[in-house]
């Protein structure tokens, strides 16, 4: 969506109190902040800010695949290897979200890829939390939490290590923001959720919320696995789930929320331009959804633009539906819920028989 859409944001959209459940730190650092941090470290990958912005924000001719989209995460990593930079980046992201009336904000982040200059995983986590807390002190009704991501391409063993680290920074151990959930992301096809079952078990046993990127670049069988084997309470994207009616019934029955990221989905090719977003099918099927930005900087979007983008598809009742979407999203936030799940309950959920035969591994 182009920046010019900003002027067309209806006032009713701006006023909506928003709940953001799916936003990545690395892809949401404002270009100006990144440029400033790069220069501070004497890094000049390109001569001008204009060119830098072109490299950081997805261009129309780059749309179409998830892998092209993931390429945009290259430059942010240059400077997010230092505590102060990560803190400053997180702070800028939270401030921007607040300016779009976001009051419940879950950011997600893979700490492992921020340790190349010597930060520990724990420091990499604390840097984001510290940035969040700076803004929380200024905005009393803001609630923030961090969802830790295991990168699929790092494999299940690193994911288990990370799940254990996540527990040590869980929200209930902190006065302000903390880690509230666990997720897998990165190249989806060939890295099915069942490979990460043990990491998810660790996270659940420690009382973290569980979500998984699934059904963005792979079929509905990955969503089934995320539910049945990872015990996911929420699904990131889940676009392909609309092709499977029994899966839609399962999502609705168990109140498993789908984190919908419309602009990102059109850009990665998960949803074809000119076709309705799966969010409509989810709503019709009674599946709880959240409206999310995924990566505000890469996708050149924000919470207002996502709402404005969906409004024409939602029809005359659009504002009321969006208000309800954010209300329901607020009920599904992991913030304020860590440390409450017992291992027995988590196991019980996963042992529940699948609604259909278990899909194959890939
Ligand atoms: Zn995502």
Task: For 205-264, write each residue's pLDDT tens digit.
Answer: 999 999 999 999 899 999 999 999 999 999 999 999 999 999 999 999 999 999 999 999
Long-range contacts (CB closer than 8 Å, 24 or more residues apart) made by 43-50: 43/78, 43/79, 45/75, 45/78
Closest CA to 210 of 247, 159, 174: 159
The CA 259 to ligand 1 mean position distance, Å, reads 9
Question: Do the Cβ atoms of 110 and 297 come closer than 8 Å?
Answer: no
Distance in angstroms (rounded) separating the CA atoms of residues 242 and 272: 14
Question: Where residue 79 sits, what CATH number does that domain have?
Answer: 3.20.20.140
Does residue 315 fall inside a structural domain?
A: yes
Does residue 358 fall inside a structural domain?
A: no
Does residue 74 fall inside a structural domain?
A: yes
With a cut of 90, say whether residue 359 has pLDDT above it: no
With a cut of 90, say whether residue 337 has pLDDT above it: no
Domain containing 209: what range?
Answer: 8-352
The CA 201 to ligand 1 mean position distance, Å, reads 21
The CA 9 to ligand 1 mean position distance, Å, reads 24
Task: For 257-286, write each residue's pLDDT tens digit.
Answer: 999 999 999 999 999 999 999 999 999 999
Does residue 361 fall inside a structural domain?
A: no
Question: Active site residue: 20, 96, 169, 216, which one?
Answer: 216
Does residue 362 fall inside a structural domain?
A: no
DSSP type of residue 331: H
The stretch 317-341 carries a mean pLDDT of 93
Task: For 9-42, write each residue's pLDDT tens digit.
Answer: 999 999 999 999 999 999 999 999 999 999 999 9
Does residue 45 fall inside a structural domain?
A: yes
The CA 264 to ligand 1 mean position distance, Å, reads 9
Annotated catalytic, 7? no
The CA 42 to ligand 1 mean position distance, Å, reads 30
State the number of CA atoms in the 13 A half-sphere of 357 facing the CB. 3
N-to-C CA span, the chain? 33
Does residue 212 fall inside a structural domain?
A: yes
The CA 116 to ligand 1 mean position distance, Å, reads 22
Does residue 1 fall inside a structural domain?
A: no
Total count of domains within the chain: 1
The CA 35 to ligand 1 mean position distance, Å, reads 23
């Amino acid at each position: 969506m182009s920046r010019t859409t900003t002027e067309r944001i209806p006032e009713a959209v701006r006023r909506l109190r928003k709940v953001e459940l799916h936003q990545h730190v690395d892809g949401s650092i404002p270009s100006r902040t990144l440029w400033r941090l790069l220069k501070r470290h004497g890094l000049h990958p390109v001569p001008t800010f204009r060119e830098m912005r072109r490299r950081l924000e997805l261009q129309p001719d780059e749309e179409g695949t998830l892998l092209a989209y993931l390429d945009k995460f290259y430059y942010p990593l240059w400077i997010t290897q230092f505590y102060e930079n990560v803190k400053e980046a997180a702070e800028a992201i939270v401030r921007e979200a607040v300016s779009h009336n976001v009051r419940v904000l879950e950011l997600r982040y893979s700490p492992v890829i921020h340790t190349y200059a010597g930060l520990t995983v724990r420091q990499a986590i604390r840097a984001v939390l510290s940035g969040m807390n700076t803004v929380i002190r200024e905005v009393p009704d803001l609630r923030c939490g961090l969802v830790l991501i295991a990168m699929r391409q790092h494999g299940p063993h690193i994911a288990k290590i990370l799940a254990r680290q996540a527990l040590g920074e869980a929200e209930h151990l902190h006065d302000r923001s903390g880690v509230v959930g666990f997720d897998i992301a990165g190249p989806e096809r060939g890295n099915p959720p069942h490979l990460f079952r043990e990491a998810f078990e660790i996270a659940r046993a420690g009382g973290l919320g569980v979500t998984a990127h699934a059904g963005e670049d792979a079929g509905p069988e990955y969503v089934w696995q995320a539910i049945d084997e990872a015990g996911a309470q929420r699904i990131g994207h889940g676009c392909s789930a609309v092709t499977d009616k029994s899966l839609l019934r399962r999502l609705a029955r168990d109140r498993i929320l789908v984190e919908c990221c419309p602009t990102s989905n059109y850009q990665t090719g998960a949803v074809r331009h000119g076709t309705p977003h799966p969010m409509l099918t989810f709503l019709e099927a009674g599946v709880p959804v959240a409206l999310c930005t995924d990566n505000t900087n890469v996708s050149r979007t924000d919470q207002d633009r996502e709402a404005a983008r969906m409004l024409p598809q939602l029809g005359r009742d659009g504002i009321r539906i969006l208000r309800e979407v954010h209300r329901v999203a607020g009920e599904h936030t992991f913030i304020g819920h860590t440390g409450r799940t017992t291992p027995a309950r988590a196991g019980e959920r996963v042992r529940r028989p699948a609604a259909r035969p278990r899909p194959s591994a890939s």
